[in-house]
Structures are given as structure tokens and as C-alpha cells.
Structure 1
Amino acid sequence: MLTPYLVLFLFGCLTGVTTVLFGFGGGFVTVPVVYGLWSVTADSGTEAMHVAVATSTAVMVVNSLFATLTQWRQGRLRREYLWPLAAFVTAGAAAGSFAATRIGDTALRVLFAAYLLVTIADSLLRRGFLSVAQARTPRPLSRPARTLGGVGIGAVAACLGVGGSVMTVPLLRRRGLPMAEATAMANPLSVPVAVVGTTVYALAAPTLHAQGGRLGYVDLLACAALLSGSLPTIALTRRITPRIPDRAHSLAYIALLATVLLALLATGT
């Protein structure tokens, strides 16, 4: 039987793949896994989802920074789409992470599942995500998309521990960017969400500070296990992305979201 930390290591490897290919710094893989492990432990109480979201956010700090450096070196980042969107994402992240500490564990889990379901439906039913015309010139972000959209992305991403990639990727995709570039830019936009969120979660839940291996809601041992798998995998996976056809890349993105949704629902049964 696999130990919990070996399970986390293996899923950390998967997180490294999703970080590079889809811009998921950790959230959509690590939240269901950490939630499932915490929910069956004797000392988990009613905090399993909060610990899962906080731990995912902490892992995202390292994964997103490492992946951002990798994508920058490969020339996939476009400053005109990253700034000033990143500033408004940061502001929203502060509000979202604080709100998450005030939401009940069950409500937070329901919100996470609902967010996944809406995103999957939107990607499948609304035009502009599954395919982008190759001759189409990418359009700049509008002012509302940069300001209100940025705040909304940061708030939802930090509240649910998902880094914002599932909002930024469709947003950039519908502006005409290839899937490889849209997912690449999800990583730097996840960094401010992860840093702000981790700070808030680490300072929250004072009753957990006395427990070994935890800082607020953040499970440091789980973080170490996840990162030991994800960082080497990020370095290896970066060579694969340019070879994936654009439509196959977008379909795989939706398939992963659906898998995560099913896994989250299964852990609650």
C-alpha cells in the first residue's frame, strides 16, 4: 500500500506536467488529492478543504515561478497581455484568499466543483476556445478585461487555490492566442495569486500552528512531497509543449478539468 507522501510525490509529478502543458501550478491536481488524504485522517476535523486549498497555493508559488522562468527562456511570454492584468489579479487575490478563510469547508468544496463545471461547459459551448484560426491576429485585452476581469480572476483563483489558469487561459485563447502561449502566460499570472494566498493562509488558523509540519492552513510536509515530484517533471515536460497540435492541446485541457471534477466528487462520497 502506498504511503500518503509517496502518493503526494506521484501526484506532484503529474502537477509538473500540468503546470507546463496547461498553466496549472498545482491547484486542480493537488486540491482533490490533499483533500482526500486529509479527510480520512483522524485529526483533519472540518478543515480538510481549507488545508487542501492552502497547500495547493503554497506549491503553486514554486511551480509557477519555475515554469515562468522556463517559458520566458523559450520566448512564449508577451508583456502586453501580462501587464497591467497581473496588478489587478494581485488585488483580487488578496480579497479572495481572505474570503476563503471565512467560508465553511463544505461550501468551499461546492464552490470548487461548481467552478470546474461552469468552466468545462463554457469551454465546450462557447466559440473561441477549442480552435483558433491560424491566420487570426491576436487581439489586445480590453480595459474591462484587464481591470474587472483581473480582479475577478485573482479573487476566484486565490479563494479556490487554482492559480487563475482556468480563467486566464480561456480569456487569452479567445483573444486569438495559440494554446501553447495562452497556457504559458497562465504561469506568471498565477505567481501573485499564489504569493498573496499563501501569506494569508499561513497567517490564518492559529490553532493549527502548534501542529507539527503545518503553518496556518499550509501543510509543509505535503508541500515538500509534491514539489519533490513536480520540479524535475517541469524541467522534462517543457520540451514537449511545442510538439502538441493546438486543438489536441485544448481538448486535453478540458479532459483534465473533467477528470479533476470527477475525482473531487468521488472523494466526497
Structure 2
Amino acid sequence: MNDLALLGIGLLTGVTTVLFGFGGGFVAVPVVVWADAVLGADAMRVATATSALVMVVNAGFATAVTPRRVLAALRGNGPLLLLLAAGGGAGALATRHAPPGLVRWAFVAYVALTIVDLLLRPGFLRPRAPETTRDAPRPLPAVVGAPVGAVAAFLGVGGSVMTVPAMRRAGHTMHVATALANPLTLAVALPAAVVLLGGAEAPAPAHTHVHLVGLVDLRAAAALLLGALPVITVLRRRPPRIPDRIYAWTYIALLGAVTVAMVLSH
């Protein structure tokens, strides 16, 4: 996969970061697996690590340009953010030592189960109706931070696939839930990227077109970010108006597309 193709897919990661809170993880993982297929089984470990770095930059930038009134919903969630970060570091350590095949199929299984859950369990496509007009969305419990962070970093998905449905069921609209997913993704991805950038040996044998620092493919990460950041800027300033139910269905459709891409990349 050449740099132009990676740049084009970077544009898509920018769209998914703003519209779905993914930070690029769900798109970046299968793309880097394809781009670095020459690494064989190690391609999945490199993809997970590269995804973590891409998510740090994308989610951090998206958070910085999100309106303060939206981010205010996370006030008082310091313990949640700390536990997400702790889980993210632990999950990244597990990724460094896990068999590549395990990470790949765990990714596919988790996303597939999430799709089934979103389709069958009330609260995502059919959000709860408030009992009164004064009902406010419920905060996410801090106790979920560590397991969400660990699973998200282990799979390279950033956590949005768990936090967006949870916030949706807590009473948030899709627009708010996906916006808040970016700072939560940043809390997971930052410690994960630090763990995966340092102290890990690059897969052998080395290949001239794969430029690794630790387990991160810097060439792929740079191309993806170059495409993503301008899109994030534009869409944050002029967000599209999408009806809430269509927004939710599109979220599920994207999860399905990524699952298929991961299966076909095997």
C-alpha cells in the first residue's frame, strides 16, 4: 500500500474521529495490517501499536477543538480517566507479549459481539426516553475505566466502541457521545502509545519499506495523520447535521465494515 493510499485512508480516519469518536483506531488497524503484510504474523502487533499513536494525535487534536460546553459533561470524571489510562498501559503491555493471531481474532470477535449487542439490546438504536424533561444523562461509573482501557489498548481500538454505546445508553445523543469519546480515547491511547513505542524489539527480518520505532510504523502513522488532521479541523468547525437514528445505524454499519476488512486481511 503506497503513501498516497495511506493518505487517502487518513482522510477517512479524520471523518471517523469526528463523527464516531474512533480516533482512527478501527480504520488504522486493518489498514496497517494490509500495508505491512510483509511482516507476516507480526503485522497485527505493528498495526495495534501504530493505531495507538495515530489515536493519540487524532483524539488529542479533536478534543482540543471540541466546544468546552460539550466537554463539560466530563467534569468530575477524573477517576474514570485515570483508570482508563491505567488499563490502557496494561493492555498495551499484554499486546507486546500476546500471540499476533490471538489479537487479530480477539479484535474480530469483540467487534462482532458489539454489533450484535447494539442491534438486540435496547438503548442504542432505541435510546431510553427520559422520565422527566429534567433528567440529565448519567455519568459513566469510574469502575469501568480499567477493563475498558485494557481491552481497548490490547485490541488497538481506543475504547470508543465501548464508551459510545455506554454514553448513548446513559442518555446522550450520538453527537455528544461521539464527541466525548475523543478525550476518553486519549486517556487510553496515550499510555498505550508510550508502552508500545519504547522497549519493544522491531519484528525481524527487517524490510526496507517498513520504518519501525518499537512496534510503531512511523511511515504509515505519518501518512494517516497527514490525511486526518485537516479533516478533523473542518468537520469540528462545520459538523454535518445527521438525524440521531441514522447516525446510530451508520455507527453500526462502520463496525461491520471494519470486521469484514479484518477477516479479509487474514
Q: TM-score, normalization: structure 2?
A: 0.91
CA distance 1:207–1:56, change in 2 (3 Å): closer
Query: What do you get for the CA RMSD once the two structures are aligned?
Result: 1.9
Letter in 2 for 1:160: L
- Corresponding residue pairs, total: 259
Aligned to 2:183: 188
Q: Which runs of 5+ in 2 are unaligned?
A: none
Q: TM-score, normalization: structure 1?
A: 0.90
CA distance 1:139–1:81, change in 2 (3 Å): farther
Aligned to 2:98: 103
- Describe the superposition over 1:140-177 as per-residue Cα deviations: whole angstroms up to 9, x where unpaired: 336xx311x11111001111111100000111111101
CA distance 1:117–1:64, change in 2 (3 Å): same
2:149 corresponds, among 149, 154, 158, to: 154
Aligned to 1:14: 12
Moved more, 81-90 or 50-59: 81-90
Structure 1 residue 233: deviation in Å?
Answer: 0.7
2:135 corresponds, among 128, 134, 137, to: 137
**Distance in 2 of aligned mates of 1:83 and 1:94:** 17
Structure 1 residue 102: deviation in Å?
Answer: 1.2
1:261 equivalent to 2:254? Answer no
CA distance 1:237–1:50, change in 2 (3 Å): same
2:45 corresponds, among 43, 50, 54, to: 50
Structure 1 residue 236: deviation in Å?
Answer: 1.5
1:127 equivalent to 2:122? Answer yes
- Describe the superposition over 1:189-218 as per-residue Cα deviations: whole angstroms up to 9, x where unpaired: 111211111111112432459877311100
**Distance in 2 of aligned mates of 1:204 and 1:105:** 18
Structure 1 residue 19: deviation in Å?
Answer: 0.2
Structure 1 residue 82: deviation in Å?
Answer: 4.0
Aligned to 2:236: 238
Aligned to 2:222: 224
1:113 equivalent to 2:123? Answer no
SS in 2 for 1:47: helix
Q: What does residue range 85-96 of structure 1 map to in structure 2 within 5 Å?
A: 85-96=80-91
Aligned to 2:22: 24
**Distance in 2 of aligned mates of 1:83 and 1:177:** 19
Q: Which runs of 5+ in 1 are unaligned?
A: none
CA distance 1:50–1:92, change in 2 (3 Å): same
**Distance in 1 of aligned mates of 2:179 and 2:78:** 15
CA distance 1:82–1:240, change in 2 (3 Å): farther
Contact 1:76 1:181 in 2 (8 A): yes
Identity %, equivalent residues: 48
**Distance in 2 of aligned mates of 1:126 and 1:81:** 29
- Describe the superposition over 1:103-124 as per-residue Cα deviations: whole angstroms up to 9, x where unpaired: 1111110000011001111111
CA distance 1:69–1:237, change in 2 (3 Å): same
Letter in 2 for 1:231: L
**Distance in 2 of aligned mates of 1:207 and 1:33:** 19
Letter in 1 for 2:9: F
